[in-house]
Structures are given as structure tokens and as C-alpha cells.
Structure 1
């Protein structure tokens, strides 16, 4: 009998759990940033080898935000602009 594939995702409290569904977003634990799985900046960092050990995955955006992560300025520029404006009072 084949076992079902599982992925390790990060929950809203920042702890990891196993899921039968893959994550839809990737993130960087140290930088507390989340973005798309095909983000140019993340893929470049992975290619350099300095990103992988801090990589996390989220089922959806609400979970990443609840876990304290912010949007990536490269792959999610509109969401990043909104996040930044909310932190600076819109200035």
C-alpha cells in the first residue's frame, strides 16, 4: 500500500504540521517574509544556497499573515505596498 504524500506547512501560530495538500506560498523564517512559490528573489536566493534551511510553506495567505509574516516586495508588490502603508500610517 502506498502512503499518501505529505508536506510540512507552517500554521498561524508559527509551528509546523503535516498536510496532504502542498503549500501555496513560500516564506523565509528569519526574514518573516512570504511570497509566491515562483518568486524571482526567492529562487535566486535558493540558487545561491543561503535560503533553503530557513524556507517555510503556508497553505494560504491568511495563515502567513497570522504567523507574523509580511508580503514580499518583489513578487507581491501591491500587497507589500499595503502592508508598508499600514505600518507607516500611509506615509
Structure 2
């Protein structure tokens, strides 16, 4: 099976392994695959069109994504405190 992940450059690539993290390309955020916020949005029929996947956190950050405030609160707080404001705010949790 082939999976499509986003690389450090933000471009999609084929992978034999699934992503370890999910994200939202419009919100430029990443989080755990079991994130309650993402699962709620997917359940409402939203989000899936802009869903992306990453091999790891380093790749997500390099691609310009920020941590999810819901499922990665420590990482989000660190990102926010560090002024790393390269990614847009979360559309559901600013």
C-alpha cells in the first residue's frame, strides 16, 4: 500500500509507511492521529479535504506547520511562547 505524506519542503510524496501525525493544510497545524478536535471535524464531514500526514514532528515543523493546541498542548505552548508564528492559527482553536 502507498501513502501520501508531506515532506519537509511542504510537497507531497509517496511512502510505504503511514504518517505518524495528521494535519490540516489550510490551518497549517499538525497533531496526533487520535486528536479529539480533528476527529470531531472529520465526523462532521469537514477537514478531510485538507487532511495531510507527516512522518514525524520534525518534518511537520520544517514544512511550516504548528502543533495543535488540543492534542499537543505542551508543544503548542512552547511554539506560542517561542514566537514561531510561521503557521496560521487553528481554524477551530485559535
TM-score (norm 2): 0.87
Post-superposition shift, 1:41? 0.2
Alignment partner, residue 48 of structure 2:
52
Q: What are the within-5 Å matches in structure 2 for residues 3-22 of structure 1?
A: 5-22=1-18
The separation in 2 between residues aligned to 1:7 and 1:22, in whole angstroms, is 6
The separation in 1 between residues aligned to 2:5 and 2:65, in whole angstroms, is 14
Post-superposition shift, 1:78? 0.2
The reply to whether residue 40 of structure 1 matches residue 24 of structure 2 is no
Name the count of aligned residue pairs.
84
Q: Give 3-state SS (helix, strand or coil) of 2:43's partner.
A: helix
Higher helix proportion (structure 1 or 2)? 1
Post-superposition shift, 1:13? 0.7
Aligned-pair Cα RMSD in Å: 0.9
Alignment partner, residue 29 of structure 1:
25
Q: Could you list the runs of 5+ residues in structure 1 that have no partner in the other structure?
A: none
Runs of 4+ in 1 over 2 A off after TM superposition: none
Q: Could you list the runs of 5+ residues in structure 2 that have no partner in the other structure?
A: 85-94
> Which entry has the higher C-alpha Rg, 1 or 2?
1
Per-residue CA shift, 1:40-78, capped at 9, x if unaligned? 000000001110000000000000000000000000000
1:66 maps to which of 44, 62, 68: 62
